[in-house]
Amino acid sequence: MHVLVFQHIDVEHPGSFRDLMAEDGATWDTVEWDVGETPPDPEGYDLLMVMGGPMDVWEDGRLPWLAAEKAYIRRWVRELEKPYLGLCLGHQLLAAALGAPVGPMAVPEVGLTAVMPTPAGAADPVLRHLAAPILCLQWHGSEVKAVPEGGVALAANPACAIQAMRVGAKAYGFQYHVEVTPDTVPEWSCVPEYARSLEATLGADGAAEFAAATEAALPELTAGALGFWRAYTAAVGLRAAA
């Protein structure tokens, strides 16, 4: 398996997925869009993994590379029909690249939360293998407002109606984070945009409390990432089904 990873800030990388990819013998190349790197030709890559970032999908005027990234994603999903995995901003970029609306939330969602599969999610090749409710880490102030053509909403919670979606058979987006490591909250808390949303949502002492709660939940989050990775790679044809 050869994976192409799109990053938009250095601290938002594949996280715990790095160990899981290594265990599978996968290799990966990273494109850091925010520092001016450009992607290679998609030939030779089996999976496009698109990570999060502090920018919004509609900021093409400030960040012209966003338009190029969305065009690449659109080609990958619509023309090449290759497996896609988007997390947080990567989830929103999938929607925006395919013409679906993305916009601000009334209140940012930050912290450990639970999401529940929709009826479609309960039958989905990935989510049907995961225990519900799904414990996850959230850190976003924007959301997908409607699924793209050919898409279906797979998970939701009271704060966000499209926490997960599938477009076609192989493109998946997840608003929440699956790839959590012990460094996730400490590192992301140092990003100014994330620090502001954290304080606005959880208060002045929120960072320490969030970090402590995430550390306590890490065994469950790590086990969830492993189950997710195995189910996802099998569902999109990158691993033999169990």
Q: Is 179 a catalytic residue?
A: yes
Strand partners, 144: 102
Structure tokens that stand for 88 in this block = 């947080």
The active-site residue out of 88, 91, 136, 140 is 88
Name, in order, each residue with C-beta under 8 angstroms of 213's C-beta and a sequence gap of 6 or more. 111, 112
Q: Is 13 a catalytic residue?
A: no
- CA distances 12 to 32, 149, 161, 231, Å, are 10, 28, 24, 22
3-state class (DSSP) for residue 88: coil
129: DSSP letter: G
Strand partners, 104: 142
Q: Is 160 a catalytic residue?
A: no
Q: For residues 150 and 98, what is the distance between their CA atoms, to the nearest angstrom?
A: 10
CB atoms within 10 A of CB 65: 16
Q: For residues 195 and 157, what is the distance between their CA atoms, to the nearest angstrom?
A: 23
The active-site residue out of 8, 13, 140, 177 is 177
- State how beta strands 2-7 and 27-32 pair: parallel
Catalytic residue annotation: 88, 177, 179
